[in-house]
Amino acid sequence: MKELNKEEFKSEVEDYVKVLFRKSIKEADDQQIFQAVAYAVKDFIVDQWMATHRTYEEKDVKTVYYLSMEFLMGRALGNIIINLKGNQAIKEAIEELGLNLDVIEDQEPDAALGNGGLGRLAACFLDSLSTLGYAAYGCGIRYKYGMFKQVIENGYQIEKPDDWLKYGNPFEIKRPEYAVEVKFGGYVSIKKDEETGRNKFVQENYQSVLAVPYDLPVVGYNNNVVNTLRIWDAEAIDTFNLDSFDKGDYQKAVEQQNLARTICEVLYPNDNHMAGKELRLKQQYFFVSASVQRAVMKYMEKHDDIRKIHEKVCFQLNDTHPTVAVAELMRILVDEYNIEWDEAWHITNKTCAYTNHTIMSEALEKWPLELFSRLLPRIYQIIEEINRRFVLDIQRAYPDDYGKVERMAIIYDGQVKMAHLAIAAGFSVNGVARLHTEILKNQELKDFYQMMPEKFNNKTNGITQRRFLLHGNPLLADFVTKKIGDDWITDLKHIDELSVYTDDEMSRKEFMNIKYQNKVRLAKYIKEHNGIEVNPRSIFDVQVKRLHEYKRQLLNILHVMYLYNELKKNPDKEFYPRTFIFGAKASAGYHRAKSIIKLINSVADVVNNDKSIDGKIKVVFIENYRVSNAEIIFAAADVSEQISTASKEASGTGNMKFMLNGAVTLGTMDGANVEIVEEVGKENAFIFGLSSDEVIAYEHNGQYNPRDIYNTDGDIRAVLTQLVDGTYSSNLDEFRDIYNSLLDGQGGRPDMYFILKDFRSYAEAQERVSAAYADTAKWAKMAMLNTAKCGKFSSDRTIEEYAQEIWHLEKVKVEVTT
Ligand code: 26Q
């Protein structure tokens, strides 16, 4: 690793402030200083970036293209500095310039090009790919506006545009030399190819845009490796010829300009919910076509046989969102390289792999044929042919079972089913936690598993300890390093060596003192951003994640209402003070989710201002939860709320970030919680609620009626009544929909997510939490063991499994010569 030279760095920062802003350091504002520092850091990594790509070319290594509609990167500066091991040198340099690194880092807007779990996973994967030395491109969209900024007004969520590129992005490099054309609409005509005498399919009268890539560096930890996140922007193709008075041309030029303007405008803020919008499909094809075209071109620059592309290229599809990639690759092979269908299909099969992130039926992508064929006429033809052959395969395999085609066809009921396409076309289908993969195999994708069992595999998710411990929790990171050395930074299994210290009282005290410091830091953040005083001696009980009914923030807040009732009834009851902390964005059109946010804020208003409970319960809703404040929140948590209805959360990754930071899981046996409990031991977690088998059984037999609970449990009845009797809102209809969803469930099933069913079990688990916390030594040991036992949940482990078992990549060492 090249060493960072302090003096050189200082003068670079001074130069940049001058060149960029015509100012001296003293005159520049914080944002300008951030820009200058960022440019100086980019200067430092650019040699490694070039060396990395030179090495890849020389060694001709296989490359994975991680295709994803979302990359939730968060801030880059602090993370890059950490991975350069330059924290000390840069901190000193900056201090010597009379500046403060924390303030500078705070100027950077989050790169919020993602919604939640799926997008953040992609970001963690890129960090691990670079750190492990694997050749990879992240391929995505350069949304002009990322995930909206959430403002809470009067308890309601208001969405504000996230203008993250306002001051420019110092880390990006525009690469116009790699721009490619992407075509939409028109029709397909058949032409005779003069050379081969064969029929050729030609798209005509289409509209097109120019896809222009911007590259962002992804810096590995202390290893000279810098991979690339390539995000595509759309520009108008220059056909705006003002000399032409042909009306058709003029009209078309205007339309193409508009298309280019809209495609990359904004990220769809839906999490685990399919929005069947035309623009979304345009976005998908736009970045997929550009990425696949570019990957093929790059491959052909160094090789002569397109038939062997699978030896050097793998496309990993992050959920079904980029699944048109399989049809786009077929189009390139068949239409542009004149390869026969069967052979093209085999090549495609060997090049594409699919990750499933959800079993929620409303999240499954299905596109109407009309829309699909109008927008992507040639791609649609190809999918029709893939479907025709796949249906024949199904019939051959199951000649007597007519239900199979109905359940498995790619095109059915007037829709294109993207998951079916991804499974049929790829060589690998993976779930993201053991339980999730089992549910896919035995329930959701049973027919596919039966027909193609060899494709199915599990890759339990992970997170990067570099961002979520080393950067987010420096106090704990230093403690761990002091105890066991710093191997954990690149091999998290080592963190288990902390286990022995859980029996040492001094170490436990130190550990809990660090937690306290982090709680003070979060309390300060809450005071500054919410104006609420919280007591850092109270239990910090945290649920931060996207707002979704299946994640059951409602269970949490109903339980707070119940506790509050208990305290009011019995003011002298022994009660360990608790701060319930929430953070969640609701999709803009998800009304019930937004009501739940309002409910949390309304309960907070009442409870926080009730002097009679003496501050024993506080409720805080942290506005605009995102990657940058997540780092502060995880570090300060005592209790990690992972309370999804069993079977619904594919994996979860927040659960792992809490665990790493020494919070104890309060959760259901869902997603990766199952594996967390397996690692830490069930005595070091608080588990409650229905199992996934029980939930699935109820869903099949319909034998659950929440009214029975309402009628027999007075405490629950009281809480539900308070939703509609004015306790939390003078508008009695404010929470009526929530009330109805639990007891009547308009159209659907009442209490679909088994909130009342799990309520008592949850309340009882919460009592166990309070009792355990009161025993300081016991709690300290539990918390510390959570940190010690989280080795499995590094995304390094996950990526190592993908690399060995799916992608078959080789590790690269990069030497910087300049
Ligand atoms: C699809 C079509 C149209 C518009 C939007 C969408 C869409 C967008 C985002 C559908 C789903 C998503 C996001 C899904 C997601 O984040 N899933 C989560 O993935 C994590 C990483 O594997 C898991 O840990 C979570 O359990 C899972 O919910």
Quick one: which atom of ligand 1 is closest to the CA of 653? 24
Does the Cβ of 461 fall within 6 Å of ligand 1? yes
Residue 490 annotated among the catalytic residues of the structure: no
Q: Is pLDDT of 453 > 80? A: yes
Q: Is pLDDT of 3 > 90? A: no
Mean pLDDT of 525-542: 97
CATH number at 62-75+114-461+801-807: 3.40.50.2000
Specify the range with the lowest mean pLDDT, choosing from 81-90, 300-309, 455-464.
Answer: 81-90
Amino acid at 29: D
Q: How far apart are CA 749 and CA 116, in angstroms?
A: 27
108's tokens:
């950077």
In the reported structure, the alpha carbon of residue 671 is separated from the centroid of ligand 1 by a whole-number distance in angstroms of: 14
Q: How far apart are CA 37 and CA 11, in angstroms?
A: 10
Q: How far apart are CA 203 and CA 189, in angstroms?
A: 6
For the chain, report the end-to-end CA distance as a whole number of angstroms. Answer: 12
In the reported structure, the alpha carbon of residue 357 is separated from the centroid of ligand 1 by a whole-number distance in angstroms of: 6
Question: Which residue's CA is the closest to the ligand 1 atom numbered 25?
Answer: 652
486's tokens:
């710093």
* DSSP line for 629-680: HHHHHHHH-SEEEE-PPTTT-S--SHHHHHHHTTPEEEE-S-TTHHHHHHHH
**E-assigned strand segments in 517-635:** 539-544, 578-583, 617-621
Q: How far apart are CA 800 and CA 546, in angstroms?
A: 28
In the reported structure, the alpha carbon of residue 207 is separated from the centroid of ligand 1 by a whole-number distance in angstroms of: 30
Residue 657 annotated among the catalytic residues of the structure: yes
Q: What is the ipTM of this complex?
A: 0.99
Equal CATH topology for 62-75+114-461+801-807 and 471-708+748-793: yes
Instruction: Give the CA angle between residues 638, 735, 539 to the nearest 5°.
Output: 10
Mean pLDDT of 20-34: 98
Q: How far apart are CA 279 and CA 268, in angstroms?
A: 10
Q: Which of 272, 282, 430 to mutate to test the pocket of ligand 1 (most atoms within 8 A of CB)?
A: 272
In the reported structure, the alpha carbon of residue 359 is separated from the centroid of ligand 1 by a whole-number distance in angstroms of: 10
Identified catalytic residue from 10, 515, 546, 585: 546
Q: How far apart are CA 637 and CA 582, in angstroms?
A: 11
Percentage above 70 pLDDT, the chain: 99
* Residue appearing with tokens 């030896």: 311
Q: How far apart are CA 121 and CA 99, in angstroms?
A: 33
What are 367-426's pLDDT values in tens digits?
A: 999 999 999 999 999 999 999 999 999 999 999 999 999 999 999 999 999 999 999 999
Residue 545 annotated among the catalytic residues of the structure: yes
Residue 357 annotated among the catalytic residues of the structure: yes
Per the DSSP assignment, residues forming a β-bridge with 429 are 354, 456
Identified catalytic residue from 551, 552, 616, 626: 551
CA-CA distances (angstroms) from residue 703 to 690, 747, 790, 804?
A: 14, 17, 38, 45
Which CATH topology does 471-708+748-793 take?
Answer: Rossmann fold (3.40.50)
Quick one: which atom of ligand 1 is closest to the CA of 120? 21
Residue 546 annotated among the catalytic residues of the structure: yes
Residues 6+ apart with CB under 8 A from 525: 629, 632
Instruction: Give the CA angle between residues 520, 524, 527 to the nearest 5°.
Output: 135
Domain ranges of the chain: 1-59+81-109, 62-75+114-461+801-807, 471-708+748-793
Write the burial class of residue 36 (CB in 10 Å: 0-12 exposed, 13-18 middle, 19+ buried).
buried
Residue 551 annotated among the catalytic residues of the structure: yes
Does the Cβ of 236 fall within 6 Å of ligand 1? no
Q: Is pLDDT of 244 > 70? A: no
Identified catalytic residue from 357, 578, 616, 648: 357
- The total number of residues written for the chain in this structure: 818
Dihedral of CA 504/510/513/517: which sign? negative
